[in-house]
Amino acid sequence: MTTMQAAPTGPIFDKGLANTIAAETQMSFIDGGKGVLEYVGIDIDALARNSTYEETVYLLWNCRLPKQHELDALKSALQAEYEIPDAIYDMIKSFPRDAVPMHALRTLVSALALHDADAESSETTPSGIESAKRQALRLVAKTPTLIANFDRHRAGKPFVRPDKSFDIATNFLWMLNGEKPTEAMARGLDICLILHADHGLNASTFAARVTIATLSDMYSAMTTAVGTLKGPLHGGANEEVMIMLDEIGSMENVEPFVKGKLERKELIMGFGHRVYKAYDPRATYLKTFAKQIATDTGNLRLFEMSQKIEGIVLAAKADKGIFPNVDFYSATTYHCLGIKTDLFTCMFAMSRMSGWAGHCIEQLQDNRLIRPQAKYNGPHAAPYVAMAQR
Ligand code: CMC
């Protein structure tokens, strides 16, 4: 006779929440086994090839592609919000020149709230949602201005104000370098922005949703998210990839370096993913793009080293589901765009701001406080020992 096991009731311990579905979204769909990523049902590859970052933002926030006049209206609304208050420029000037860029960005995103009358708290009413959308638009529009001008400050260069006639990618490179980028460079950045815009309930998006679910404000949620993205297991990995490429230094050194790391069971940055156990579909397109931009900018050696690393890691680890993730080839791409290595995670934040904000709006539209439980592993009935007896 078999005994029926009762279905577990109550909370289940799920370390890392890998098997927990904690929110609903209409924005992005991931099939980690097949290596599929869709934004609102549209394959990421089709978007990277045909869309623009602004159109992708519209898609994520409205769950459909815009008509021309709708796209034009979003672009104008973003452009009208590119500029940051003078007090924020003054704040940037006060930062140490050697500040970690993600510390600077996190602080500046938080400080923007001081200059936005909408930023008090969130409400789930229609007017509250409209207010959250206004905050989202400002955050997406202003973040490039914060990053580019922080970079100028630390290089001892004068600030460059945003140019409202440019799209987001062109405007960012304009402010960063003080000159209009070529169309190819601007398009390269635009593609990176599309590819990084949203990715299900990743750690920083989850953190943003946790914050907004308390009915805190959008700036607090984005500040939480920037802090979470900073970690090397999340957005910080693209910087680590570039540092690794620099450390390897030559084609001859690739094999001993990578094999040594594998033997010592150390992580190879830019590989592996909690969800993808196949090739990260964002990496597929980025790989092609990285090759092209590396060729155009005289950095082919960097691409070839990356390709060699990939070959060695795949030979050792593909059967365990370890493939390149989005960060692996974005390192080469950003380097070829002339972006400094320690700004890479800020670039990720600049794009993901739209995904974070979209998720926060979804959360407000159907809100419930996010409050999991902890499994207590400590003692019980412990005596309180007076100070003198400890
Ligand atoms: N290099 C070598 N081995 C790896 C790697 C790697 N990059 N990633 C995972 N493994 C191994 C890991 O050591 C473990 O082996 P074993 O079963 O023998 O202990 C096995 O694969 C499973 O790994 P895990 O750490 O349990 O997987 P996870 O889902 O907890 O971690 C990850 C996912 C992304 C944190 C991890 O793959 C990693 O640390 N990768 C390097 C950092 C990185 O590139 N992060 C960017 C992620 S994509 C951008 C983003 O979404 O933020």
Protein residue with its CA nearest to atom 18 in ligand 1: 265
45 and 193 belong to one structural domain: yes
Average pLDDT over residues 293-301: 93
Mean pLDDT, the chain, whole residue set = 94
165 and 119 belong to one structural domain: yes
71 and 208 belong to one structural domain: yes
pLDDT, tens digit, for every residue of 50-103?
999 999 999 999 999 999 999 999 999 999 999 999 999 999 999 999 999 999
Average pLDDT over residues 263-290: 92
Whether 171 is in a domain gets the answer yes
1 falls in which pLDDT band (50, 70, 90)?
very low
272 and 141 belong to one structural domain: no
- Spot the catalytic one: 153, 196, 273, 359: 273
Number of domains in the chain: 2
- Out of 322, 334, 352, give the residue to mutate to test ligand 1, the one with the largest number of ligand atoms within 8 Å of its CB: 322
Whether 224 is in a domain gets the answer yes
2 falls in which pLDDT band (50, 70, 90)?
very low
267 and 214 belong to one structural domain: no
Q: How would you write the chain as a 3-class SS string?
A: CCCCCCCCCCCCCCHHHCCCCCCCCCCEEEECCCCEEEECCEEHHHHHHHCCHHHHHHHHHHCCCCCHHHHHHHHHHHHCCCCCCHHHHHHHHHCCCCCCHHHHHHHHHHHHHHHCCCCCCCCCCHHHHHHHHHHHHHHHHHHHHHHHHHHHHHCCCCCCCCCCCCCHHHHHHHHHHCCCCCHHHHHHHHHHHHHHCCECECHHHHHHHHHHHCCCCHHHHHHHHHHHHCCCCCCCHHHHHHHHHHHHCCHHHHHHHHHHHHHCCCCCCCECCCCCCCCCHHHHHHHHHHHHHHHHCCCHHHHHHHHHHHHHHHHHHHHHCCCECHHHHHHHHHHHCCCCHHHHHHHHHHHHHHHHHHHHHHHHHCCCCCCCCCCCCCCCCCCCCCHHHC
61 and 191 belong to one structural domain: yes
107 and 211 belong to one structural domain: yes
7 falls in which pLDDT band (50, 70, 90)?
low
172 and 277 belong to one structural domain: no
Is 43 among the residues known to form the active site? no
Residue 65: both structure tokens together:
């592609």
Whether 8 is in a domain gets the answer no
Given a cut of 60, whether residue 217 has pLDDT beyond it is yes
How far is the CA of 104 from the CAs of 107, 116, 212, 223, 335, in angstroms?
5, 19, 22, 11, 21
154 and 254 belong to one structural domain: no
What CATH code is carried by the domain that includes residue 321? 1.10.230.10
Q: Higher model confidence: residue 289 or residue 108?
A: 108
**Rounded to whole angstroms, how far apart are CA atoms 110 and 101?**
14
The confidence score (pLDDT) of residue 5 equals 58
Given a cut of 90, whether residue 126 has pLDDT beyond it is no
The confidence score (pLDDT) of residue 9 equals 74
The confidence score (pLDDT) of residue 11 equals 86
139 close to 222: Cβ distance less than 8 angstroms: yes
The confidence score (pLDDT) of residue 121 equals 72
211 close to 220: Cβ distance less than 8 angstroms: yes
What CATH code is carried by the domain that includes residue 216? 1.10.580.10
Average pLDDT over residues 286-312: 94
Protein residue with its CA nearest to atom 49 in ligand 1: 234
Whether 269 is in a domain gets the answer yes
Tracing tokens 């209009």 back to the chain, one arrives at: 180
Average pLDDT over residues 232-257: 93
255 and 282 belong to one structural domain: yes
pLDDT, tens digit, for every residue of 301-331?
999 999 999 999 999 999 999 999 999 999 9
Is 273 among the residues known to form the active site? yes
**Rounded to whole angstroms, how far apart are CA atoms 210 and 317?**
34
**Rounded to whole angstroms, how far apart are CA atoms 316 and 193?**
31
The confidence score (pLDDT) of residue 8 equals 61
Average pLDDT over residues 167-194: 95
- What's the gap in Å between 323 CA and the centre of ligand 1? 10
Ligand 1 contacts CB of residue 271 (under 6 A): yes
147 and 285 belong to one structural domain: no
Domain residues for the domain of 277 are 237-336
Whether 260 is in a domain gets the answer yes
- What's the gap in Å between 34 CA and the centre of ligand 1? 18
Task: Label the pairing between strands 42-43 and 28-31.
Answer: unpaired
In the beta sheet, which residues pair with residue 30? 37
Ligand 1 contacts CB of residue 239 (under 6 A): no
195 and 250 belong to one structural domain: no
Sign of CA dihedral 173, 192, 76, 358: negative
pLDDT, tens digit, for every residue of 353-370?
999 999 999 999 999 999
Percent of the chain exceeding pLDDT 90 equals 89
Average pLDDT over residues 136-152: 98
Whether 98 is in a domain gets the answer yes
Whether 388 is in a domain gets the answer no
Whether 289 is in a domain gets the answer yes
pLDDT, tens digit, for every residue of 55-65?
999 999 999 99
**Range with the poorest average pLDDT among 1-10, 235-244, 361-370:** 1-10
- Spot the catalytic one: 199, 280, 327, 335: 327
Given a cut of 60, whether residue 6 has pLDDT beyond it is no
Given a cut of 70, whether residue 4 has pLDDT beyond it is no
Ligand 1 contacts CB of residue 309 (under 6 A): no
